[in-house]
Amino acid sequence: MDMLTISNLSLSFRGLQVLTDVSFEVNQGELFAIIGPNGAGKTSILNSISGFYRPNKGHVYLEGLDISRHPPYRRAELGLGRTFQNIALYHGMSVLDNIKLGAHVHLRTGLLSSLFYWGRSHREEMTLRKEIEEDVIDFLEIEAIRKLPVGSLPYGLQKRVELARALAMRPKILLMDEPVAGMNAEETEDMARFILDIKEERNITIVLIEHDMKVIMDISDRVLVLNFGQKLAEGSAEEVQRHPEVIKAYLGENKAHDGDLSTTAG
C-alpha cells in the first residue's frame, strides 16, 4: 500500500487557482521530491497534506486512510511530520527544550488519566520522553549543543534542530520544505546526508521540496515537477531532467536543444 496518496487535489484562494487536479502516490520508504518554478504551488501541496490548507477538491490518504478532513494535530498524531521553509523554533529556548516540544505528541497518557495514575504514568512518560530525545540528539549529532539557546546557533545547526524536533514526533512520513535553502556547501552536504540516513536507517518516507538541483539529483528516488499548479512530469531525477516540457519550464529553454530528450510520464 502507498504511504501517501494525493488524489485530484485542487486549491484556490479568492479566484486564484493555485493547484489544479494534482494526483500522485508516494511509496513507503521512498524519498519523493517536488520541484518547480517559484509560485508553482509546491508549498501549497505540503500545506494541503499537513492540513494547514483545505483544498477545494480532492483527497489526501495516509496509509489508505482518508485524512482530508482531519485537523493538523490529528495528522501529526497519525505520523505526519513537517519542517518549514523558514525555521519554526523557539529561539530563546534551549535545543533540548525545542526537541521536547516534538516528543510530547507521543505521550500516551492524557491530562485526566495523569491525575488518577500520576505515579505510574508520569514515570512512563518521562522514560519515553527521554528515550526519544536521546535517540534523536544522538542520531543528528547535536549532543554538544543541547543546552544552548537555539538563537545562538549558526543557521545550518538551527535547521538540524528543527529536523530533530520533527523526528522526535516519530513520524512515518516527513514533509520537508526546502531543507537546504540558505545553507553553505558544507551545511548542505551534512543535511543531505542526514536526510538520506533518515530514509535508509529509520525507514521514514520523505516528501521534499527543494530548489537545489544537485541535492535533488543526488538523493531523490522520484521527482514530481509542478508548473502553474499542475503536474508537468513525474519520474526519476534523470528522467524528469530530460523531459522537454520540464526543460522548457524549469531548467531554461536553451537546454532543450542539447542532449537526449527522451520523455517520461507526464
Ligand X SMILES: Nc1ncnc2c1ncn2[C@@H]1O[C@H](COP(=O)(O)OP(=O)(O)OP(=O)(O)O)[C@@H](O)[C@H]1O
Among 8, 13, 134, 182, binds ligand X (CB under 6 A): 13
CB of 60 to ligand X, least distance (A): 16
Cβ-based nearer residue to ligand X, 18 or 99: 18
DSSP states of 216-261? HHHH-SEEEEEETTEEEEEE-HHHHHH-HHHIIIII-GGGGGSS--
> Are the C-beta atoms of residues 236 and 31 closer than 8 Å to each other?
no
- Choice from 3, 4, 24, 43 touching ligand X (CB under 6 A): 43
Q: Looking at 1, 38, 253, 257, which residue binds ligand X (CB under 6 A)? A: 38
Does position 81 interact with ligand X (CB under 6 A)? The reply is no
Q: Does 48 bind ligand X (CB under 6 A)?
A: no
Nearer of residues 36 and 55 to ligand X, judged by Cβ: 36
Spell out the residues 6+ positions from residue 214 whose beta carbon is closer than 8 angstroms to its own. Answer: none
Query: Cβ contacts of residue 88 below 8 Å, gap of 6+?
Result: 162
Stretch that binds ligand X, among 41-49, 65-73, 148-156, 253-261 (CB under 6 A): 41-49
Tell me the window of 37-45, 95-103, 185-193, 245-253 that interacts with ligand X (CB under 6 A).
37-45
Binding status of residue 42 toward ligand X by CB under 6 A: yes
From residue 160, alpha-carbon distances to 6, 11, 64 in Å are 28, 31, 31
Q: For residue 145, count other CB atoms closer than 10 A to its CB.
A: 19
Residues that bind ligand X (CB under 6 A): 13, 16, 18, 36, 38-44
